[in-house]
Structure 1
Amino acid sequence: MSFTAAAAPLQSVPAGPVRYWDSPAPYCLHTSLRILVRGKGDPTIRLAPGSAWLAFLTPEGPATLNLREEPAPAPGARVRAQAWGPGAGWALDSVPALLGEHDDWTEFDDDAFCATLPRMVTETRRRNRSLRLPSTGRIMDSLIPVVLEQKVTVIEAYYAWRYLVSRYGTDAPGPAPAGMKAAPAPETWRRIPSWDWHKARVDLSRSSTILRACSLASGLERLADAPLGDDLTARLCSVPGVGVWSAAEITQRTHGAPDSVSVGDYHLAAYVGAALTGRRTDDAGMLELLEPWRGHRQRVVRMIMLSGYRKPAYGPKLAPMDHRRR
Structure 2
Amino acid sequence: MTETRRLSPPERYAFGPSVRPLLVPKHDPCGLVRQDGFWLAMRTPEGPATLHLARSAGDLVATGHGPGARWAVDRADAVAGLRDDVSGLPALAARHPLVARLAKTFSGVRLPATGRVFPRLMRAILEQKVTGKEAHRSYRAVCRHFGEPAPGPVELVLPPDPAAVAATPYWVFHPFGVEQRRTQALLRAAQVADRLEACADAAELTARMTALPGIGPWTAAETVRLSHGDPDAVSVGDFHIPNTVAYALAGEVRGTDERMLELLEPFRGHRGRVCDLLALGGISAPKFGPRMPLRSFSRF
Fold agreement, TM-score > 0.5 = yes
* Aligned positions of 1:1-326 closer than 5 A: 16-48=2-34, 51-72=37-58, 78-110=59-91, 113-119=92-98, 121-176=99-154, 178=155, 180-223=156-199, 226-229=200-203, 231-279=204-252, 280-326=254-300
Cα distance change, pair 114–267 in 1 and its aligned pair in 2 (3 A): closer
Amino acid corresponding to residue 117 of structure 1 in structure 2:
H
* Number of equivalent positions: 299
**TM-score w.r.t. structure 1 length?**
0.87
Which stretch of the first structure deviates more once superposed, 19-28 or 310-319? 19-28
| Residue identity opposite 2:283 in structure 1 | Y
1:95-144: CA deviations, max 9, x gaps? 1221223211111124xx3431232x222222222111111110101111
CA distance in 2, matches of 1:321, 1:259: 32
Could you tell me whether the CA contact under 8 Å between 2:49 and 2:67 is conserved in 1? yes
| Higher Cα Rg, which structure | 1
**Preserved contact between residue 118 and residue 276 of structure 1 (Cα < 8 Å):** no
**1:124 partner letter:** L
1:184 deviation in Å? 1.3
Q: Secondary structure at the match of 1:57?
A: strand
Distance in 1 between residues matched to 2:223 and 2:36, nearest whole Å: 25
Q: Deviations over 1:143-164 (max 9, x none)?
A: 1111011111111110011011
Alpha carbons 1:146, 1:246 under 8 Å: kept: yes
User: Given that residues 117 and 227 in structure 2 are in contact (C-alpha distance below 8 angstroms), is that contact kept between their aligned partners in structure 1?
Assistant: yes
Query: Letter of the aligned partner of 1:211 in structure 2?
Result: L
Does the 8 Å CA contact 2:243/2:284 hold for their aligned counterparts?
Answer: no
Change (3 A) 1:228 1:167: closer
Decide which moves more: 40-49 or 249-258. Answer: 40-49
Identical-pair percentage: 39
Confirm or deny: 8 A CA contact 2:196 2:205 kept in the other structure.
Answer: no
| Structure 1 segments unaligned to the other structure (5+ residues) | 1-14, 73-77
What secondary structure, in the 3-state scheme, does the structure 2 residue paired with 1:17 have?
strand
CA–CA distance in 2 between the matches of 1:232 and 1:216?
Answer: 12
Residues 1:114 and 1:248: Cα distance change in structure 2 (over 3 Å): closer
Matched with 1:5 is none
Go from structure 1 to structure 2 and tell me whether the alpha carbon gap of 1:260 and 1:191 turns closer, same or farther (over 3 Å shift).
same
Change (3 A) 1:109 1:115: closer
Question: Structure 1 294/167 Cα, relative in aligned 2: closer, same or farther at 3 Å?
Answer: same
1:42-73 deviation line (CA, Å, top 9, x unaligned)? 1111124772110111122211111011223x
Task: Give the counterpart letter for 2:96 in structure 1.
Answer: L
CA shift, 1:295, in A, is 1.1
8 A Cα contact 2:93 2:267, kept in partner: no
Which amino acid counterpart does residue 241 of structure 1 have in structure 2?
A: G
TM-score calculated relative to the size of structure 2: 0.94
